[in-house]
Amino acid sequence: MNDNTTSLSWNAGWAAATQRPSEGFHKNWAQEGFADQTVRQIVRVTGSGTSARIKLSHRYGTAPLELTGATIALADKGAAERAGSVRPLTFGGARSVQVPAGEEIYSDAAEVHVAPFESLTVSLYFARPTGPASFHAQAYATTYRAAGDQLAAADPAVFGETTVSWYYLAAVELADGGPARDDTVVVFGDSLTDGFASTIDGNRRYSDALAERLADQGTPRPVLNQGIGGNLLLNDSAWYGDRAGDRFRPDVLDQPGVRSVVVLVGLNDIGFSEIELPTYRPNPDQSPAELIAGYRELIRQARAAGVRITGATIMPFKGAEYHTPTAEAKRREVNPGYAPRASSMRSPTSPRRWPTRPTRTRCSPPTTAATTSTRTTRAIARWPPPSTSPRSDHAPLGPAM
């Protein structure tokens, strides 16, 4: 992996968890890849800086990936970029780069002045066929594609094709010439974290709301979303990413300046075994003891790295297709089972639970019981309290609310 180290100290700006190429719930280009095409992706950062670099992931590639050119710019409406903000990206001083199969690579620094909650475009041109693309399936942000090299195109209308996934782009890191930050918060989990069914281009995931809340309270910090819709605590999935225990280090502990992680995962391990669907496999019947052991492994990894971990209880999910009395009994046994071992334990569900129906959350139609409405997302974001204490204090995210 080429870190392309410079004198700059790099801070978290934006990140997304990388998945194997798959069909997904929405049309995407992961399995077909790209050939003589430009892909323009839009991401909203929660940090700020005067320089930026990107991280490209070819984690699931089987042959070298050839990137012909790339740019970064401040985003305007749709696929448009703000005039005068486009900057070419280089890799070790070269405009093109070859990424070995299974590897990740950083670009060089580019001068980009960006404030918190501004959006950036990252455009990638692939002259030669890429093969299937490592990607993040459920971005709920529009990605654009155009034929040929359109890195310098002034007319955004050339980008006539769209999906709602991100391709190869794993992170945007920012620097401002100052020291490295050590207050990054990572939210980690499944669809409730990933933002499944949230408004496209609305930036309404709970990580977005949490970052906004922290800024409003005068304690701004980067918040990274490392959720994957359908993710499992104990099993890898062709559709839903590597199991949480295996991806915890690269997706959480290896992020710049990480101090706190909020973990909300496990519902799918309980629910998938209750019904037979091809996309839910593997779906073994996991015992509460096995799930609790999986949580404790995440806790062990976080503590060994000096990162504060806050565990979220599994939310009520009656109304979901896989809710059964057996699944509900598991949820009730698992929730208290790992609480004594976590650095902090919180329930995000209590303010959104029906008073007379404790197995349901107040999810607004047409949201399913296993996903979140915008109101529920905002409620979850009010739950993890912020921390202003130094990383070395090993302090919780803050006082209980």
Label residues 357-366 b or e (16+ Cβ within 10 Å = b).
eebbbbbeee
Distances (CA, A) of 374 to 56, 263, 317: 30, 20, 17
Sheet-wide strand order for 258-264: 223-227, 184-189, 258-264, 308-312, 344-346
Peptide bond into 365 cis (omega under 30): no
Q: Rounded CA gap, 41 and 12, in Å? A: 18
Looking at residue 125, its pLDDT comes to: 99
Exposed, middle or buried: residue 310 (CB in 10 Å: 0-12, 13-18, 19+)? buried
Q: What's residue 7's pLDDT? A: 85
**What count of Cα atoms within 13 Å lies in the side-chain half-sphere of residue 148?**
5
**170 closest CA partner among 55, 47, 43:** 55
Owner of token pair 């991806």: 247
The reported pLDDT for the residue numbered 357 is: 40
Tokens describing residue 57? 């992931």
How many angstroms separate the CA atoms of 52 and 66, rounded? 22
Q: Determine which helix (DSSP H) or strand (DSSP E) holds 354, and give its type and residue range.
A: strand 353-354
Largest CA distance in the chain: 63
76's tokens? 């305007």
Calpha distance 281→101 (Å, rounded): 26
Query: What pLDDT score was predicted for residue 352?
Result: 37
The single-letter code of the amino acid at 142 is T
Q: Give, as one character, the DSSP assignment of residue 249.
A: I
**Which pLDDT tens digits describe the chain residue by residue (401 residues)?**
444 446 899 999 999 999 999 998 889 999 999 999 999 999 999 999 999 999 999 999 999 999 999 999 999 999 999 999 999 999 999 999 999 999 999 999 999 999 999 999 999 999 999 999 999 999 999 999 999 999 999 899 999 999 999 999 999 999 999 999 999 999 999 999 999 888 999 999 999 999 999 999 999 999 999 999 999 999 999 999 999 999 999 999 999 999 999 999 999 999 999 998 888 988 899 999 999 999 999 999 999 999 999 988 898 888 889 999 999 999 999 988 765 455 555 555 443 333 334 344 433 323 344 455 566 666 666 665 544 333 333 333 322 21
The pTM assigned to this predicted structure is 0.89
Q: Which of 246, 298, 240, 297 is nearest to 269 (CA)?
A: 240
Please report the pLDDT score of residue 366 as a whole number: 30
Residue 212: how many other CB atoms lie within 10 Å: 18
Report angle CA 276, 278, 282 to the nearest 5 degrees: 80
- Tokens describing residue 323: 């809710």
β-pair type (161-163, 143-147): antiparallel
- Note whether 163 and 29 are within 8 A (CB): yes
**What is the predicted pLDDT for the residue at 75?**
98
CA–CA distance, 164 with 140 (Å, rounded to integer):
5
Helix or strand (DSSP H, E) at 377: helix 374-381
* 191, 152 contact by CB (below 8 A): no
Q: Which one-letter amino acid corresponds to residue 213?
A: R
